[in-house]
């Protein structure tokens, strides 16, 4: 049976933070509030357990618990994606099947960390995971900054052409040429390329991308979603103005250790998401002061 994609992948997808209590247990109340906050803020999808969701410190049971809460609270209002970041192919397949069981609309798979696989190894890895859940939409997640190597244009093209339920990708390389090549080699397919750098939403759309996966949508969805909405409605000047408003705030996040600034900013704006999960620690001192300054100048806090 041919794969039928029921997703209209576009707009702003938020890699939602994972709120925790003082004992680092997932907080159901805070998580439900965060799901509603981003949906009411205008996001077009939610990605659980992305980099900003701290997937690397959560075990399988925690992910199951958290995702059940998110799906229940979202109530079908936006597509729900489950992020997979394991190294072993077999483990990724187990997560993919769990995501399907829990009602995910799709999965996102980052390339294996620590290793440096050949293109053929990567091809077989992604293909095996996608084919284990043939009725689920699959997104590739290219993040060379965290894995130490990038997906090639040829690899993405092969997977897009050969595996029918691989319907798109998130590119967090920050390389606009690489992004444009991913778009170019898949433009004749039903394949959606989303940017993964919040500072490049406007250029991504201008190059033919369908949207972006943005951590800042956890904090200021009205600005982030405004870029996409204005661009889509032909208000290019307004979209660019929002992009320029967002950029200094987003760039200030790079002063902190990754990815704690997302939770820092959420908490500063009064969105209680708890602390980063250790060994990460909340920002303090000069770093926190500079983050506060960028938020104040951007009109997010008083």
Per-residue pLDDT band for 8 (boundaries 50, 70, 90) equals: confident
Of 170, 197, 230, 263, the catalytic one is 170
**For residue 130, is it within any domain?**
yes
Are the C-beta atoms of residues 175 and 196 closer than 8 Å to each other? no
Digit-coded pLDDT (tens) for 164-178: 999 999 999 999 999
The C-alpha atoms of residue 65 and residue 82 are separated, in whole angstroms, by 12
pTM score, whole prediction? 0.96
| Residue range 43-71: mean pLDDT, rounded | 97
Digit-coded pLDDT (tens) for 181-221: 999 999 999 999 999 999 999 999 999 999 999 999 999 99
The mean predicted confidence, pLDDT, of the chain is 96
**Count of structural domains, the chain:** 1
Tokens of residue 290, six digits: 């500079």
**For residue 148, is it within any domain?**
yes
Per-residue pLDDT band for 1 (boundaries 50, 70, 90) equals: low
**For residue 244, is it within any domain?**
no
Digit-coded pLDDT (tens) for 210-255: 999 999 999 999 999 999 999 999 999 999 999 999 999 999 999 9
**For residue 283, is it within any domain?**
no
CB environment 50-73: b (16+ within 10 A), e (fewer)? bbbbbbeebeeebbbbbbebbbeb
How many percent of the chain have pLDDT more than 70?
98
Active site includes 292?
A: no
CATH code, domain carrying 88? 3.20.20.70
Of 141, 197, 202, 230, the catalytic one is 141
Tokens of residue 51, six digits: 């980099």
**For residue 282, is it within any domain?**
no
**For residue 192, is it within any domain?**
yes
| Residue range 66-70: mean pLDDT, rounded | 98
**For residue 302, is it within any domain?**
no
**Enclosing domain of residue 193:** 11-233
**For residue 249, is it within any domain?**
no
Active site includes 170?
A: yes
């Amino acid at each position: 049976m041919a794969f039928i994609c029921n997703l209209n992948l576009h707009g702003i997808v938020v890699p939602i933070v994972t709120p925790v209590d003082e004992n680092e247990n997932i907080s159901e109340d805070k998580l439900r509030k965060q799901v509603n906050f981003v949906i009411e803020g205008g996001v077009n999808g939610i990605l659980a357990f992305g980099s900003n969701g701290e997937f690397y410190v959560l075990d399988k049971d925690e992910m199951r618990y958290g995702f059940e809460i998110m799906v229940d609270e979202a109530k079908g209002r936006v597509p729900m994606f489950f992020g997979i970041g394991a190294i072993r192919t077999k483990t990724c397949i187990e997560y993919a099947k769990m995501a399907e069981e829990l009602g995910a609309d799709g999965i996102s798979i980052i390339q294996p960390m620590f290793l440096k696989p050949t293109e053929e190894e990567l091809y077989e890895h992604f293909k095996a995971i996608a084919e284990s859940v043939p009725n689920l939409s699959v997104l590739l997640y290219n993040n060379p900054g965290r894995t130490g190597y990038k997906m090639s244009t040829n690899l993405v093209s092969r997977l897009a052409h050969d595996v029918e339920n691989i319907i798109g990708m998130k590119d967090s390389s920050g390389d606009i040429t690489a992004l444009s090549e991913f778009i170019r080699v898949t433009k004749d397919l039903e394949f959606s390329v989303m940017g993964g750098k919040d500072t490049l939403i406007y250029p991504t759309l201008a190059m033919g991308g369908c949207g972006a996966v943005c951590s800042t949508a956890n904090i200021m969805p009205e600005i982030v979603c405004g870029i996409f909405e204005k661009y889509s409605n032909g208000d290019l000047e307004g979209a660019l103005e929002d992009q320029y408003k967002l950029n200094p705030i987003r760039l200030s996040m790079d002063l902190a250790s990754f990815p704690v600034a997302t939770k820092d900013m959420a908490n500063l704006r009064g969105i209680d998401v708890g602390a980063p999960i250790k060994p990460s620690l909340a920002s303090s001192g000069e770093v926190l002061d500079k983050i506060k300054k960028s938020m104040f100048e951007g009109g997010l806090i008083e």
